[in-house]
Amino acid sequence: MSLRSWQIFVVGFVLFAQSFSASSTASAQGVSEALTWYDTLGFPDVHDLSYVRVATGRYIIRGNQPPENQFLEGFLTAEDATSFTVFVCSPPDFLDPFGRFESHPALTIAHFVRKADGPAHQQVSYEVLDFPKVVAELMARVHDLESGPQDFQAREQAFSQKYPGLRPTFDFRWRRVSVFSFARACQQEGLAAEAAELFEVAANIPDEQTGKVDRATLREKLQQQLGEAVLTQTEKQFGNPTISLAEILKTYDSFAVRYPANARVAYAQESAELLRKTIAEESEHHPKPLSEMSPAEQVAENIYQLRNMTSVMWIMNSHYPVYTDKRGGKDGITPIHRLVDLGNLAVPQLIEALDDRRFTRSMVPQFNLARPASAMRVNGIAQHILEHLSGRNFYGGKSSDGKPAKATTRQQAEAWWAEVQSKGEKQSLIEAASAGGANGLMAARTLAEKFPEDALPAIEAGIRASAKDGYRGEYVEIAGKLPGDLPLAFLLAQLTPDHGVYSQSYAAEALFVRGQAVAAVPAMIESWHRIQARLPRNEGDAFSEVGRIISFLARSEDARAIEALAKDGPAAPVQVRLALVEVFEGKGFNGGGIGPMVSIRDHVEKLPGGEAGAAIERLLVAALDDQERCFGADRNYPAVSFKDPRICDMASFVLATHSPEKYAFQWPLGPAESDRQIAKMRDRWRLDHRLPPGAPPAPPVSITPASEAEVASLLEALTTAGNDAARVAATEKIVQTFGLRALPVVRVQLKRPGDAVLRPLALHLASLVREVQFPAEAGDLAGKSGVTALQGQCLTGERLDQLAHELESKMPENIAAVTFVAERAGDGTGFKATIHWLPGVAPLHSGWDRDMAVRMGDQTVFRDASWSAEGVMPSAAIFRKMTSEFDKATQAEIDVPVFVRFRLQRGGRE
């Protein structure tokens, strides 16, 4: 992290500080009390310590860019020939309450081992910074912000123009400690005035809950925020077995004294008590071998050992509920596996363990980082095992008032166990599975595994009782795994359209595995044809459903299936076309997307031979002609990472992955390089099929430049203009007379000293619309929409906003959606704009789906895909962010490629 990140976060604080007097008695007392407390925490006195910028050796990869080393700043506390330590107190390293994105937590001593060799992004070193200069630069920016326009938008624009890449922020959550600790460092380094100003900023940040400022309670606010971060970092330590429980206990034991105003003092005290009990039990626990224990003793011992579980990863639909890791020569058998094997013998003691809140050494898995890190408890693992054994969900939810919404977890588990003892396990499972829904699915899986001969009638009953297509499909999946021919007639019956795509696809997959593809493939081809009408507007669950269809047909090794995909694919939405290519990638991807995306169930790992393989190659080669981007797609492969891919680029990537000896493709930084590679791949395929070479790629757009002599007099009029009106008139004259032809001359002039006044003209010329394309079948839509009037105009954010509003407000009744794209290659040829209308009538028009994106270079700088009800959002705000980011992109550099796209679709939400 760098000083710039610190500046981004701090400048907004000062906006609030302007309203308060630095001489406030309450403020001075609050700062004094906070300092007295802060200095008891044992942080280093940084006086005479060097302030350093550390290359941590941890790196990130942004899109297709080279890896970037991650940096932090702090004070060097010690070093030797091989390592060094840094007190991390700079605000950039304390970005949120949970420290989820921090390489090293703030206000800690971080230890680094030097690494001077290897790639730059993996090296570990530091450079000494001039701390007074760092602070002076920071305060200069703060003061510039204070003296800016009162209107926030004007202030933001003025500030961003002066400091590109920086902007004021009003996100104050969890910044108070960062500002305060940095202010204390300034004070210790003798920068008293700067420290006083930053202390005022910290004192004047409004309360996160009430929005009010109470400068006298600064100490309490700091104790709350810093204490919360300390608890989170301490919780993470449970996941590191090299840190002893005794060491972790120290933090909990001292917490109430160090952070008395923190709301979680009671939690820390409870945690300390649990750890003391655990440590005492460990010193007295000397078990005999499991082989010498009775079954009841084995249950007790395995429940005891749950506290030592590390890296528990829960999985579904398996014989065991936890992933088995067999790396490193270990058998991967854990206490969880043994308890599952012990089965009902373990149930009574597992129910007792539901009250055991002792910590384990495994962290709760986090997939979206929406919650702070936390360690699993013994009772949580016991609950998972019981739910797996029972096929039930024992979650004890709470209502909005915090009271139990239903019976507690233990009460539900005890009720189930009583039912098993009275009815028997099989009958209990049959009744639960027959009830349908999500809970019934759990029971159905357990029933199918333990009593497969009795499972099918209960599965059929569960299907009838389930309202959702997805649940019904999962019941079919369970039936498909029953042994022998028992479910064959049932599966064949699920292939008819009235059962829905989920049931069809699960049945088809099961039949395919059983060698019954002769019935499954035709049914799924018909399902593919039927879903086409629902895809343009993603009606119902169409994108989710079509992913299952694509996956099955692609993996069927049947040429008829591949040909069906190829026939309907070109007319499908871009998300579907991406899936049609990506399904053949092989190993799948690590990534996701924003907005509606098609989810592929399974990828084709190895392309088949014969007619099916030839059909797949034809499909991929045909996709080389598809240059549309799929905005929102985010892909990470071992060799390359990218966002918003073009379909043709993905097809090239897949072809080269499977046939590197035949097709060569390196993911490029720009479309022009990609198109050159694609042309070679297309010609190679045509040569192999004895076809003549295809048409060569279209030559680059060429603009005949005006001569310097032609433009000279107008440029002189512009550079010597005495006021804005004269400059505007001169600019308009140049644009009207020469258009893009004047840009090469202006670019040459810009390189000469003293001609920077021409930069606005150059930016204006570079954003002229060279060409407007629309389909022939558009009729008079293009003229009525005003899009044809763009030709020759400068495409600005204001004009883009006007066009988007016109297209939305004047959309004809027989049009369901409109897509507008404008792309500037950055080569001085201006923008090419294209527009397309999707015919159709929305059955329920209550709002708008708007999909908007702006790219600059190879980075997406703005992306939004959302629905809003008609009239809810202020008209001026609908496209504001898109147009603002577009203006920033076009004004950044003359030669940077810029791409803007929006899709407006009318429709409703159920």
Q: What is the DSSP letter of 529?
A: H
Taking the C-alpha atoms of residue 903 and residue 850, their distance in angstroms, rounded to an integer, is 6
Specify which residues 868 forms β-bridges with.
Answer: 848
Taking the C-alpha atoms of residue 550 and residue 504, their distance in angstroms, rounded to an integer, is 13
Q: pTM (2 decimals)?
A: 0.74
Give all strands (DSSP E) within 106-189, no chain letters. 108-113, 125-129
Average of per-residue pLDDT across 440-466: 95
pLDDT in tens, 22-54: 445 666 888 999 999 999 999 999 999 999 999
- Ranking 113-117, 545-549, 645-649, 904-908 by mean pLDDT, the lowest is 904-908
If one counts every other C-beta atom within 10 angstroms of the C-beta of residue 465, the result is 16
pLDDT in tens, 817-844: 888 999 998 889 999 998 988 887 766 6
Taking the C-alpha atoms of residue 116 and residue 122, their distance in angstroms, rounded to an integer, is 9
Q: What is the DSSP letter of 600?
A: P
Average of per-residue pLDDT across 396-424: 85
Q: Are strands 641-643 and 51-60 parallel, antiparallel or unpaired?
A: unpaired
Quote the tokens at residue 632. 């929102």
274 pLDDT tier (thresholds 50, 70, 90): very high
H or E stretch at 555: helix 542-555
pLDDT for 530: 96
Torsion over CA: 539, 540, 544, 550 (sign):
negative
Average of per-residue pLDDT across 433-455: 94
Q: What is the DSSP string of 640-675?
A: -EEES-BHHHHHHHHHHHH-TTT------SSHHHHH
CB 844 within 8 A of CB 896: no
pLDDT in tens, 889-903: 999 888 889 999 998
Q: For residues 395, 400, 406 and 412, what is the CA-based torsion angle, rounded to 10 degrees?
A: 20
H or E stretch at 86: strand 83-88
If one counts every other C-beta atom within 10 angstroms of the C-beta of residue 648, the result is 23
pLDDT for 754: 63
Mean pLDDT of the chain: 86
11 pLDDT tier (thresholds 50, 70, 90): very low
91 pLDDT tier (thresholds 50, 70, 90): low
pLDDT for 152: 56
Closest CA to 761 of 746, 783, 741: 746
Give the percent of the chain with pLDDT over 90. 57
Q: What is the DSSP string of 309-333?
A: -BS--B-SSSSSSB----GGG----
pLDDT for 878: 92
**Phi first, then psi: what are they for 703, rounded to 5°?**
-110, 120
Distance of CA 809 to the CA centre of its chain: 32
102 pLDDT tier (thresholds 50, 70, 90): low
Residue 497: which residues within 8 A CB-CB, separation 6 or more? 504, 526, 527, 530
| pLDDT exceeds 60 at position 19 | no
| pLDDT exceeds 50 at position 16 | no
H or E stretch at 419: helix 409-423
Taking the C-alpha atoms of residue 186 and residue 202, their distance in angstroms, rounded to an integer, is 14
Average of per-residue pLDDT across 118-131: 95
- Ranking 367-376, 484-493, 662-671 by mean pLDDT, the lowest is 367-376
Quote the tokens at residue 575. 């998300």
**Phi first, then psi: what are they for 595, rounded to 5°?**
85, -175
Give the percent of the chain with pLDDT over 70. 86
CB 139 within 8 A of CB 194: yes
362 pLDDT tier (thresholds 50, 70, 90): very high
Taking the C-alpha atoms of residue 22 and residue 191, their distance in angstroms, rounded to an integer, is 16
